[in-house]
Amino acid sequence: EVQLVQSGAEVKQPGEAVTMSCKASGYTFTNYWIGWVRQMPGKGLEWMGIINPGDSDTRYSPTFQGRVSISADKSSTTAYLQWNTLWAPDTAMFYCVRHRHGSGSFDYWGQGTLVTVSS
Amino acid sequence: EIVLTQSPATLSVSPGERVSLSCRASQSVSSNLAWYQQKPGQAPRLLIYDASTRATGIPARFSGSGSGTEFTLTISSLQSEDFAVYYCQQYNNWPPLTFGGGAKVEIK
């Protein structure tokens, strides 16, 4: 069974960084791209970026370029999203997603990691 | 960047009714369009990909149609578990991948 299990909720102060994880199981990790999607409270979905776990090639949305970093560890079949400097408006739910093979659509979603930024 | 516009933003319907949700692209995305359903407090799930192919385990009452710039998600007979927010997403020209703003289907 394919599963993407994300790390738990985080509470951060403005100016801090956060790294969240996405543990993949039930399939060959290096064969499918992993992406990240943001959902701010009460809002829609925003694609942030993608990584090919096979070669660590990454692509970012212009909206998030320079603010986040996506990485992957093949040995632990885990993808990571690092947000470098958080501010209060950055409070959001973050989902990791598995891309359908060779496609830009997502067939599996993690349960989400809520990041709350508050002083 | 391709902009997807969904309409209506909110739809009030009764169980058993037929529902059609629209997604319009700012330029052609061929058939590279997906639909997702999101219920409160849950992650989205894939319903339709390649404009008209149902994902694994999705009931036959869900269908997708269209190509180019005009797409429709149809629910033939709305069930109680179908009240949710629905998003379209294009993957023809990326990065970036883009989503529509969402369409909420609520109980009338």
Q: Which one of A35, A44, A105 has the shortest CB-CB distance to B49?
A: A105
Nearest CB partner across the interface for B99, out of A45, A50, A103: A45
User: What pLDDT score was predicted for residue B22?
Assistant: 98
Predicted local distance difference test score (pLDDT) of residue B108: 86
Q: Do A105 and B89 touch (CB under 8 A)?
A: yes
**Is the minimum CB–CB distance between A107 and chain B shorter than 8 Å?**
yes
> Chain B contact for A3, CB < 8 A?
no
Does residue A61 belong to the interface with chain B, where contact is any CB pair within 8 Å?
yes
B6 has a pLDDT exceeding 90: yes
Per-residue pLDDT tens digits for B16-54: 999 999 999 999 999 999 999 999 999 999 999 999 999
- Condensed to tens digits (0 to 9), the pLDDT of residues B74-92 reads 999 999 999 999 999 999 9
Closest-CA residue to B81 (of B63, B61, B100)? B61
Report the amino acid identity of residue A50: I
* The residue to which tokens 């986040």 are assigned: A68
Q: Which tokens belong to B19? A: 């529902």
Q: pLDDT tens, A7-44?
A: 999 999 999 999 999 999 999 999 999 999 999 999 99
Give the model's pLDDT for residue A103.
Answer: 87
Q: Which residues of A touch B99 (CB under 8 A)?
A: 44-47
Interface test with A, best of B88, B97, B99 (most A CBs within 10 A): B97
> So what's the pLDDT on residue A32?
96
Write out chain A residues lying below 8 Å of B48, CB-based: none
Contact list in B for residue A70 (CB cut-off 8 A) is none
pLDDT of residue A101: 84
- pLDDT tens figures, B52-61: 999 999 999 9
pLDDT in tens, A57-107: 999 999 999 999 999 999 999 999 999 899 989 999 999 999 998 888 999
Q: Name the amino acid, one letter, at A5.
A: V
Give me chain A's average pLDDT, please.
Answer: 96
Half-sphere exposure of residue A20: CA atoms within 13 angstroms, side-chain side? 29
CA distance A94 to B88: 18
Using DSSP's 3-state secondary structure scheme, residue A113 falls into strand
CB contact (8 A) between residue A35 and residue B97? yes
Per-residue pLDDT at B48: 98
3-state secondary structure of A29: helix
- CB A104 to CB B32 under 8 A? yes
The percentage of chain A sitting over the pLDDT mark of 70, rounded to a whole number, equals 100
pLDDT, one tens digit per residue, over A51-60 is 999 999 999 9
Distance separating alpha carbons of residues A66 and A23, to the nearest angstrom: 24
pLDDT value at residue A90: 92
Q: What is the DSSP letter of B18?
A: -
pLDDT of B30 reads: 97
CB contact under 8 A, B100 and A44: yes
